[in-house]
Amino acid sequence: MSKIKPAKGSPYARILGVGGYRPTRVVSNEVILETIDSSDEWIRSRSGIATRHWASPQETVAAMSVEASGKALADAGVSPEQIGAVIVSTVSHFKQTPAVATEIAHRIGAVKPAAFDISAGCAGFGYGLTLAKGLVIEGSAQYVLVIGVERLSDLTDLEDRATAFLFGDGAGAVVVGPSDEPAIGPTVWGSEGDKSETIKQTVPWDEYRSTDSDQKFPAITQEGQAVFRWAVFEMAKVAQQALDAAGITAEDLDVFIPHQANMRIIDSMVKTLKLPEHVTVARDVETTGNTSAASIPLAMERLLATGAAKSGDTALVIGFGAGLVYAATVVTLP
């Protein structure tokens, strides 16, 4: 018979607050067109993107995260000292170690929390949210800070006509804490490693180090059509599975917050899922671009700030990207 005491966590977990940070510099399509042969009309028709934000040297991964975290903590009414864990999802923090989560935890004033980074691309926020839910329910932390943050401008090849216009920078954060009722549904997540080459870094760091000085700095590249087909058809299935796992239908939804990869993907998923007209759909990609792990919390924050969504709404969130990995769940908005 086990001598281990049972966990003393909360029966359920919920998102208590959300915050976002977008860099001050707004970059129009006209700026992108200085380095690629394209047009504003083509970029908008292919992606729905009109502008994106690019970080200054001072707007580091840590600095943007601290700003977003401060807003999330204030929104949740939780002090930094109450945070028991900090989870950061990013692919654009260039120090392999230590985890940027430790720096962020220190800068916000958290007291010796667990702190670690995860790499799950555009599904990273969903992965972090799932881990945070488990920590709260299990009792390892009463409150968990989950951050999605990217400086993808550092990994953008401005001469690549297929990707130069896609990526933006920013940070989004949520505070996850105890709940008396279910407010974060079961997560449907997974990976399809046989498709890992469809979105990838062009050159591994060790290969970049060993090549001559004329080697281009590593960037993100993708097979656009393959990714589009996978996202539209396979991720709509995953989204439906998340609804089923939560025990609701599309009619029960108030809000749909997909990863802000591309407006065409978003619109196609809405159609495939047959979402009712009353469902508010996040389309933050138009002015923020694709910010990978940051895109869902940034879109969530904007919907709530503008009144397009309200506290207590039921939302389906789904992230998908490099790996290929995905994560979908139904949440109650803070």
Q: Which of 53, 93, 262, 290 is catalytic?
A: 290
d(CA 92, CA 168): 12
Q: Which residues, 6 or more positions from 150, have their beta carbon under 8 angstroms from its beta carbon? A: 61, 90, 91, 92, 167, 169, 170, 171, 291, 292, 293, 294
C-alpha torsion sign, points 240, 241, 244, 245: negative
Q: Which of 53, 93, 259, 262 is catalytic?
A: 259
Q: Which residues, 6 or more positions from 158, have their beta carbon under 8 angstroms from its beta carbon? A: 32, 35, 36, 164
User: Cis peptide before 324, with omega less than 30 degrees from 0?
Assistant: yes
Nearest in space to 230 (alpha carbons), one of 122, 334, 126, 305: 122
259 is catalytic: yes
Tokens of 302: 């904007």
278 is catalytic: no
122 is catalytic: yes
Give the 3-state secondary structure of residue 267: helix
Q: Which residues, 6 or more positions from 263, have their beta carbon under 8 angstroms from its beta carbon? A: 47, 48, 49, 283, 285, 286
Q: Which of 29, 93, 122, 262 is catalytic?
A: 122
d(CA 326, CA 120): 8
Give the 3-state secondary structure of residue 170: strand
Q: Which residues are catalytic?
A: 122, 259, 290
